[in-house]
């Protein structure tokens, strides 16, 4: 098994950075080799330039004819190439002008920091790369003792696991193991493939409850509706659950927030605020758990994880699901999840969390005399949408917020900076019908589009 993909990208001699997403393809050749192609789009890492430096990564893992790996891990190697794109034609083909839609009328909610209200500008900070591996102490998260530790994760004696990357931390409780391959044994047999068990850790009930809460926070799926003849009806939008109670049997919302905020303080994660909380009472755990199991049984959802019996939950499993972001950011919008913290907290403490904090603000790199007015980016949004690969008509603008995002410094050799951006939350026609929101981020210094749902 061979894979090849771009690992790091540099523009005009600037810092090599990891792209957010990469699409790859493989085409076997007549001589036995394999031709790989890739496509990527990232408004931060891949921007317009004269030359591009690409660090490629290739890995090869040898298997026997029976599908057994012959080595414990694949072998890998990397190399760097520099390219200077050239137009295929001397003259660009003339394109029909894209249809530009009008900005919807009506009042727009605009949120800006007090600093901007007073000065009309905000500073640009140098971005210092975070490295959790140099900062964390395993006993902060679990005191049962360490069963195993390597460069990227810790397994505790009570089976909980802490995983990390330089910019991210993940903590989950586990209880036993399960065979992740047994569900596909019959399909493999039909294809003449040998079945081989794949034994992996099984998430504890707390992990499953956290999953229910996460679904409920971003939009609980609604079942597919059909008419009397069995024809599909329009899909109802997902339901976002809101908090009902701030006090549960053994824990209050304030206690849960204090516990998680104390952990963020140990991790030197300043400036985070709670922007969402959901109470997971026994009633809600059982209701959502029953609904989820029903969707899995009906085939609406597919999973190889054994079903959970949520009726086994006790008041000790009750807790609060919490979402934290930097002040000015919002959940699931733009690049805000580069700086995000989600947790499930019970009376036992923080039993599940997912944390991403890519950069630490450094010294002030510069302070623009003034920033682009939000009305400028509002006018630019429908034009950018119309000129995109998959044009959509703007339906409504929900909110415009002045916040920060990472981007390359104007002098690319200086690496990354945290720059003011206008984050626009909006709906296009498709989003309005299906009940989700879109985003677009514009650099507040020069007005250029950085990232967007349609990009």
pLDDT of residue 76: 87
CA pair distance 384, 402, nearest whole angstrom = 19
Among 218, 247, 421, CA closest to 336: 421
**328 and 251 Cβ atoms separated by less than 8 Å:** no
Residue 289 Cα to chain centre, angstroms: 24
CA pair distance 6, 23, nearest whole angstrom = 10
pLDDT over 90 percentage in the chain: 44
pLDDT band at 57 (very low <50, low <70, confident <90, very high): confident
**235 and 224 Cβ atoms separated by less than 8 Å:** yes
Return the minimum-mean-pLDDT range out of 87-96, 200-209, 253-262, 268-277.
87-96
CA pair distance 360, 92, nearest whole angstrom = 42
pLDDT band at 334 (very low <50, low <70, confident <90, very high): very low
Q: Find tokens 């790199």 and name the residue.
A: 365
* pLDDT tens-place string over residues 262-320: 999 999 887 788 989 999 999 999 999 999 999 999 888 889 999 999 999 999 999 99
pLDDT of residue 330: 58
pLDDT of residue 335: 47
Is a pLDDT exceeding 60 seen at residue 343? yes
Q: Which domains does the chain have, with CATH numbers?
A: 2-83 (no CATH), 110-128+362-452 (2.40.128), 131-357 (no CATH)
Q: What's the chain look like in SS3?
A: CEEEEEEEEEECCCCCECCCCEEEEEEECCCCCEEEEEEECCCCCCCCCCCEEEEEEEEECCECCCCCECCCCCEEEEEEEEECCCCCCCCCCCCCCCCCCCCCCCCCCEECCHHHHHHCCCCEEEEEECCHHHCCCHHHCCCCCEEEECCCEEEECCCCEEEEECCEEEEECEEEEEECCHHHHHHHHHCCCCCCCCEEEEECHHHHHHHHHHHHHHCECCCCCECCCCCECCCCCCECCCCCCCECCCCEHHHHHHHHHHHHHHCCCCCEEEEEEEEECHHHHHHHHHHHHHHHHHCCCCCCCCCCCHHHCCHHHCEEEEEEEECCCCCCCHHHHHEEEEEEEECCEEEEEEEEECEEEEEEEECCCCCCCHHHHHHHHHHHHHCCCCCCCEEEEEEEEEEEEEEECCCHHHCEEEEEEEEEEEEEHHHHHHCCCEEEEEECCCCCEEEECCC
pLDDT of residue 328: 52
Whether the CA torsion 203, 204, 208, 209 is positive or negative: it is negative
**135 and 168 Cβ atoms separated by less than 8 Å:** no
Return the minimum-mean-pLDDT range out of 63-67, 210-214, 291-295.
63-67
pLDDT of residue 102: 63
**332 and 407 Cβ atoms separated by less than 8 Å:** no
Q: CB-based contacts of 30: which residues, under 8 Å, 6+ apart?
A: none
**359 and 127 Cβ atoms separated by less than 8 Å:** yes
Provide Rg for the chain, Cα atoms.
25
Q: Give the number of other Cβ atoms within 10 Å of residue 299's Cβ.
A: 7
Q: Give the number of other Cβ atoms within 10 Å of residue 409's Cβ.
A: 18
CA pair distance 306, 296, nearest whole angstrom = 10
pLDDT of residue 336: 47
Is a pLDDT exceeding 60 seen at residue 94? no
pLDDT of residue 61: 86
pLDDT band at 184 (very low <50, low <70, confident <90, very high): confident
Specify the pTM: 0.73
CA pair distance 381, 131, nearest whole angstrom = 35
């Amino acid at each position: 098994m061979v894979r090849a993909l771009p690992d790091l990208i540099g523009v005009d001699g600037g810092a090599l950075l990891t792209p957010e997403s990469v699409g790859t393809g493989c085409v076997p050749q007549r001589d036995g080799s394999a031709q790989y192609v890739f496509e990527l789009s990232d408004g931060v890492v891949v921007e317009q330039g004269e030359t591009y430096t690409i660090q490629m990564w290739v890995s090869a893992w040898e298997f026997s004819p029976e599908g057994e790996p012959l080595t414990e891990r694949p072998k890998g190697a990397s190399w760097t190439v520099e390219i200077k794109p050239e137009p295929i034609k001397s003259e660009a083909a003339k394109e029909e002008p894209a249809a530009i839609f009008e900005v919807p009328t009506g009042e727009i909610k605009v949120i800006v920091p007090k600093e901007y209200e007073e000065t009309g500008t905000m500073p640009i900070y140098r971005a210092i790369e975070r490295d959790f591996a140099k900062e964390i102490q395993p006993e902060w998260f679990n005191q049962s003792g360490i069963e195993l530790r390597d460069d990227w994760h810790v397994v505790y004696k009570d089976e909980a696991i802490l995983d990390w990357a330089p910019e991210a931390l993940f903590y989950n409780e586990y209880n036993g193991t399960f065979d992740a391959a047994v569900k596909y044994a019959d399909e493999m047999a039909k294809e003449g493939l040998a079945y081989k068990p794949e034994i992996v850790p099984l998430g504890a009930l707390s992990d499953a409850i956290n999953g229910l809460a996460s679904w409920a926070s971003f939009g609980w799926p609604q079942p597919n509706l059909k008419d009397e003849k069995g024809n599909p009806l329009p899909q109802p939008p997902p339901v976002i659950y809101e908090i009902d109670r701030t006090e549960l049997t053994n824990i209050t919302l304030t206690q849960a927030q204090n516990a998680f905020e104390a952990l963020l303080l140990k991790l030197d994660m300043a400036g985070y605020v709670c922007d969402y909380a959901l109470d997971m009472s026994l009633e809600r755990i059982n209701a959502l758990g029953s609904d989820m199991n029903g969707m899995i049984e009906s085939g609406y959802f597919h999973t190889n994880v054994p079903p959970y019996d949520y009726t086994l939950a006790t008041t000790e499993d009750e807790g609060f699901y919490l979402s934290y972001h930097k002040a000015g950011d919002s959940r699931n919008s733009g690049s805000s999840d580069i700086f995000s913290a989600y947790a499930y907290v019970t009376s036992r403490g923080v039993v599940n969390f997912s944390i991403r904090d890519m950069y630490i603000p450094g010294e002030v790199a510069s302070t623009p005399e003034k920033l682009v007015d939000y009305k400028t980016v509002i006018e630019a949004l429908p034009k950018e949408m119309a000129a995109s690969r998959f044009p959509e008509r703007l339906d409504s603008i929900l909110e415009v917020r002045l916040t920060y995002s990472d981007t390359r410094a104007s002098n690319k050799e200086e690496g990354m900076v945290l720059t003011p951006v206008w984050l626009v939350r909006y709906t296009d026609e498709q989003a309005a019908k299906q009940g989700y929101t879109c985003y677009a981020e514009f650099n507040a210094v020069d007005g250029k589009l950085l990232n967007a749902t349609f990009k």
